[in-house]
């Protein structure tokens, strides 16, 4: 019976196996024996196999492997590398299949020369020499390029070797500021030699690498790129810089309140001091603004800007008496002009947000900021028509908020008192989208975090046909989250919902960028994590779209902590 069963099974299996094609025997990969050698620094017996590895040059004719140790570490520094600091590094060989080295090196001393024997797949042997040398960088890219007097920046295409300016007039006798690969140089030097350029005749530059040998020709051209279909280009968010306020020259704690933005500059307002001006693209300090008689601890209490980059300053009442005042400035060199005077006994002035152009049409909005047991949802809107502002504001009370709040911020997305607006405040930490006609909340994003923070700053702008809102949170206490900031898409109320969590991966879908909150989500950039907790959790955010319409910049500032800049674009790829 067993034999019968065996032959029955074979009768089924054999026809199936007969239809199968024989499996090809793939020979082991073979190149040149040794294909690559990478070196990684080690410490206390551990190694790091990341981007910090040193590459190698392989001379197959002379059987020599030369480890390329960067001449400067970090590469952008002026400190020349000392091989004595690398007496124990981890080596990783890429060999042909079935090839091996004798001795089998795991760690080596870069100050020494090694001799090894390679046994290849055919069992043939060859002797190789391994050594290290300091290698100057061969990188010769333009990283950034801007026309100094016009404040316009070029789009850099490293693959094509082009720097493209969105500007359509001829450039005559202009100078440029630039950033190159570390230790590279450019000929002619556009920061020292005036040049010209036109849409029909581009300018050519040569960038020479640190090694003095590698070079590349770059073309400066003028072009108008296609825009992404709507809103910002996904994945375009790029952190340009982050700096401590103290490093930028803010020496007084607890007094820095707001930021204003132009195409070229960010202005940082500290109460009672002349505001500090930094380069918008690099964060480098370029000077201060003379506020004259407006300067004072309660008079230049807060500063912001409109969508055209005009500067807006306001006092705080009742700290500065019983009249709420707003000043405006066309540019950094203007004298502040009194714009709005509103006698009031209300607490106003912690923040003031602007939509539009204060020399054209705009709306300015502020919330009631008094500390009360139940809180309030009162807010005030001033409108501007042809540069003339209403002196008495439109007042409204919001309905539908989770609970009362204080010390918040609000901004309308339009220039009318019936325009929808966004509002936030402590302690609900609710960012509400409010119907401008009914003053009822349509939808909300909540900042839950740890309930020890205040969501006190928001801003909004239209970018490539889509509205974006930015908000921030900062702790009031010596515990809690030390600085969180988010940029959110605000297309529809239905999609503007969810909650901001300690775990950034749980943020709602409307969030297009979030500030790194570090391990555990407790924040890296707020005052508590840096120079000192601010008891009022003072903070600010600013969204600014450049005049060419291709870039949006998002700025955040935490009192006693950091100020930073994130760049977005809407350029079609």
- Per DSSP, the residues of 354-376 read EEE-TTSSEEEEEE-----SS-B
* Amino acid 144: pLDDT: 92
Report pLDDT for 323: 98
3-state secondary structure of 568: strand
Instruction: Output the CA torsion sign for 389, 395, 399, 401.
Output: positive
Cα(216)–Cα(421) distance, rounded to whole angstroms?
51
Q: Do residues 482 and 529 touch, judged by C-beta distance below 8 A?
A: yes
Residues 537, 549: Cα–Cα separation, whole Å: 33
Tell me how far apart the alpha carbons of residues 177 and 203 are, in angstroms, rounded to a whole number. Answer: 15
* Structure tokens that stand for 68 in this block: 């390329």
| Chain position carrying tokens 């199936």 | 16
Round to whole Å and give the CA distance between 275 and 256: 9
Distances (CA, A) of 251 to 99, 247, 248: 63, 9, 9
Instruction: Give backbone dihedrals phi and psi of 382, rounded to 5 degrees, phi first.
Output: -105, 135
Q: Which pLDDT does position 326 carry in this prediction?
A: 98
Q: What is the pLDDT of residue 404?
A: 64
Domains of the chain are 34-135 (2.60.40.4120), 142-222 (2.60.40.2340), 238-569 (2.120.10.10)
- How many angstroms separate the CA atoms of 156 and 145, rounded? 8
DSSP letters of 55-66? EEEEETTTTEEE
Q: How many Cβ atoms sit within 10 Å of the Cβ of residue 462?
A: 17
- Residue carrying the six token digits 């974006």: 468
> Which residue ranges in the chain fall short of pLDDT 70?
1-30, 43-52, 371-376, 403-404
Q: Is residue 249 reached through a cis peptide bond, with omega within 30 degrees of 0 on the bond before it? A: no
Strands 511-514 and 484-489: antiparallel
3-state helix, strand, coil in the chain (%, to 5): 5, 45, 50
List phi, psi (to 5°) of 83: -60, -20
Q: Do the Cβ atoms of 526 and 447 come closer than 8 Å?
A: no
Q: Are strands 100-102 and 114-119 parallel, antiparallel or unpaired?
A: antiparallel
Radius of gyration for the chain, computed over Cα atoms and rounded to the nearest angstrom: 31
Report the pLDDT value the prediction gives residue 151, as an integer from 0 to 100: 72
Q: Which of 315, 339, 310 is nearest to 327 (CA)?
A: 339
Beta bridge partners, 239, equal: 566
Torsion sign, CA atoms 332, 333, 336, 339: negative
Give the pairing of strands 185-187 and 203-208: antiparallel
* ∠ CA 513-519-523, rounded to 5°: 60
DSSP letter string over 287-347?
A: EE---GGG-STTTS-EEEE-TTS-EEEE--BTTT-SEEEEEEESSTTSPPEEEEEEE-SS-
C-alpha to C-alpha distance for 296 and 272, rounded to whole angstroms: 4
| 3-class secondary-structure state, position 304 | strand
């Amino acid at each position: 019976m067993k034999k019968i069963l065996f032959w029955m099974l074979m009768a089924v299996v054999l026809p199936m196996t007969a239809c199968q094609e024989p499996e090809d025997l793939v020979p082991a990969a073979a190149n040149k024996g040794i294909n690559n050698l990478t070196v990684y620094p080690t410490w206390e017996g551990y190694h790091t196999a990341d981007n910090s590895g040193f590459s190698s040059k392989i001379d197959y004719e002379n059987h020599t492997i030369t480890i390329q140790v960067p001449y400067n570490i970090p590469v952008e520094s002026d400190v020349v590398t000392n091989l004595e600091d690398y007496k124990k590094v981890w080596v990783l060989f890429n060999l042909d299949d079935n090839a091996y080295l004798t001795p089998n090196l795991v760690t080596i001393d870069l100050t020494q020369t090694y001799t090894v024997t390679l046994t290849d797949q055919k069992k043939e042997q060859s002797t190789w020499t391994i050594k290290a040398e300091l290698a100057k960088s061969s990188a010769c890219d333009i990283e950034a390029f801007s026309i100094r007097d016009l404040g316009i920046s070029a789009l850099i295409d490293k693959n094509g070797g082009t720097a493209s300016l969105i500007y359509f007039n001829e450039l005559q006798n202009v100078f440029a500021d630039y950033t190159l690969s570390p230790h590279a140089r450019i000929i002619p030097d556009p920061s020292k030699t005036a040049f010209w350029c036109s849409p029909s005749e581009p300018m050519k530059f040569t960038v020479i690498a640190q090694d003095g040998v590698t070079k590349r020709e770059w073309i400066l051209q003028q072009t108008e790129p296609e825009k992404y279909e709507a809103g910002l280009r996904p994945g375009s968010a790029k952190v340009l810089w982050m700096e401590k306020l103290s490093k930028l020259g803010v020496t007084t704690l607890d007094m820095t309140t707001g930021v204003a933005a132009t195409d070229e500059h960010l202005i940082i307002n500290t109460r009672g001091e002349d505001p500090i001006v930094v380069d918008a693209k690099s964060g480098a300090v370029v000077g201060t603004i003379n506020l004259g008689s407006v300067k004072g601890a309660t008079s230049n209490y807060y500063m912001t800007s409109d969508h055209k980059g005009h500067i807006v300053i306001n006092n705080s009442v009742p700290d500065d008496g019983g009249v709420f005042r707003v000043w405006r400035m066309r540019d950094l060199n203007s004298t502040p002009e009194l714009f709005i005077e509103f006698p009031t006994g209300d607490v106003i002035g912690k923040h003031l947000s602007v939509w539009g152009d204060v020399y054209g049409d705009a709306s300015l909005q502020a919330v009631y900021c008094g500390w009360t047991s139940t809180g309030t949802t009162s807010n005030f809107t001033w409108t501007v028509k042809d540069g003339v502002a209403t002196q008495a504001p439109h007042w409204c009370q919001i309905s539908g908020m989770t609970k009362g709040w204080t010390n918040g911020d609000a901004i309308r997305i339009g220039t009318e008192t019936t325009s929808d607006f966004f509002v936030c405040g402590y302690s609900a930490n609710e960012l509400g989208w409010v119907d401008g006609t009914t003053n009822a909340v349509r939808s909300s994003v909540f900042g839950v975090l740890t309930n020890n923070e205040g969501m006190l700053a928001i801003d909004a702008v239209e970018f490539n046909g889509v509205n974006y809102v930015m908000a921030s949170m900062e702790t009031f206490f010596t515990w809690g989250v030390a600085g969180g900031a988010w940029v959110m898409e605000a297309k529809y109320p239905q999609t503007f919902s969810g909650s901001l969590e300690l775990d950034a991966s749980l943020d709602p879908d409307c969030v297009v960028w979030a500030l790194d909150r570090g391990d555990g989500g407790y924040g890296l950039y707020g005052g508590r994590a840096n120079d000192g907790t601010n008891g009022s959790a003072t903070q600010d955010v600013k969204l600014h779209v450049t005049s060419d319409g291709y870039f949006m910049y998002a700025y955040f500032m935490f009192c006693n902590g950091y100020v930073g800049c994130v760049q977005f674009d809407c350029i079609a790829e």
